[in-house]
Amino acid sequence: MSEKDKMISGEIYNANYDEELIKERIKVKDKCYEYNNIKPSDIENRTKLIKTILGKHKNNFYIEQPFICDYGYNIEIGENFYSNHNLIILDANKVKFGDNVFIAPNCGFYTAGHPTDYKTRNEGLEYAKPITVGNNVWIGGNVCVLPGVTIGDNVVIGAGSVVNKDIPSNVVAVGNPCKVIKEI
């Protein structure tokens, strides 16, 4: 099994020494660099380029600059998606956003994690778990979503939250760690 296959299946893998994964990351990071340096007013070229970065997208979406990801092909965004400045998606595994998702500035979605055992971690090994965000979700500024998290539909995640566990549908959740504070 290749390191890429291990990565996508959620097993421990080595991204630091696998030539295929390194080439894929460099290729998409070059595209992100190019995207981030297109004039903000040049919406046509920005849109064309971001479509070559994302794995799957619907028609109506907008991602403010800067935007950074690891692979791009593991990112899926729904209709009417909007991300403000400085979205970071470490997409070693699938990151799927539903329709009508709005993301405030400085948010990160991190599928990659590292073993707690320092000997294993020091070998450059890591794992990746998918992230899923439902429909009609608003994510406040400076939110961090960790590996393996699912956020349900019709959810508001408060600014500054660290989402380390699943969040059910129809709630407002905030904090570090992020917890449900009320139903909608």
Q: Give the domains, in start order, of the chain with CATH numbers.
A: 3-183 (2.160.10.10)
Helices (H), ranges, the chain: 3-9, 19-36, 43-53, 118-122
At 59-111, the pLDDT tens digits run 999 999 999 999 999 999 999 999 999 999 999 999 999 999 999 999 999 99
In a 10 Å sphere around its CB, with 0-12 CB exposed, 13-18 middle and 19+ buried, how is residue 109 labelled?
buried
In the sheet that holds 75-77, the strands lie side by side as 56-57, 75-77, 95-97, 131-133, 150-151
At 145-162, the pLDDT tens digits run 999 999 999 999 999 999
Q: String of b and e for 56-65 (b: at least 16 CB within 10 Å)? A: ebeeebebbb
Residue 17's pLDDT is 87
Of how many residues is the chain composed?
Answer: 184
Kindly name the residue from 4, 31, 85, 114 that is annotated as catalytic: 114
Question: Mean pLDDT over residues 47-57, rounded?
Answer: 97
Distance between CA atoms of residues 154 and 142, nearest Å: 19
Establish whether 85 is a catalytic residue: no
Provide the sign of the torsion angle of the four alpha carbons 73, 36, 101, 127, taken in this order: positive
